[in-house]
Amino acid sequence: VQVVESGGGLVQPGGSLRLSCTASGFSYIISVMGWYRQAPGKQRELVALITSEGNTNYVDSVKGRFTISRANGKNAMSLQMNSLKPEDTAVYYCKVVALSDYWGQGTQVTVSS
């Protein structure tokens, strides 16, 4: 089993980034995949979740700015982040909810001028 994120980087306030996550080694379609983030000195928090049926859930602070999506029938998802703010700066992690929880290694997102 492997969970890999990509797409982080440095962006100016108001800019956009797209994160991707691919989960491999699963013999079935994962029911729930999610993005979490952890800023320095803070606890890891949920950003967005998506089910295999395409149902989504977002933390209030990113509603209207972030969009989570998932490829049909695949264990892969993306997070489109628009109108980024400095407070979005964090390490972003992909989480797979299966028989156990699996986490990616994280990708750094820095929003700064």
Tens of each residue's pLDDT in the chain, 113 residues? 999 999 999 999 999 999 999 999 998 888 999 999 999 999 999 999 999 999 999 999 999 999 999 988 889 999 999 999 999 999 999 999 988 899 999 999 999 99
As a three-state string, the secondary structure of the chain is CEEEEECCEEECCCCCEEEEEEEECCCCCCCEEEEEEECCCCCCEEEEEEECCCCEEECHHHCCCEEEEECCCCCEEEEEECCCCHHHCEEEEEEEECCCEEECCCEEEEECC
Confidence at residue 32, expressed as pLDDT on a 0 to 100 scale = 94
Confidence at residue 61, expressed as pLDDT on a 0 to 100 scale = 97
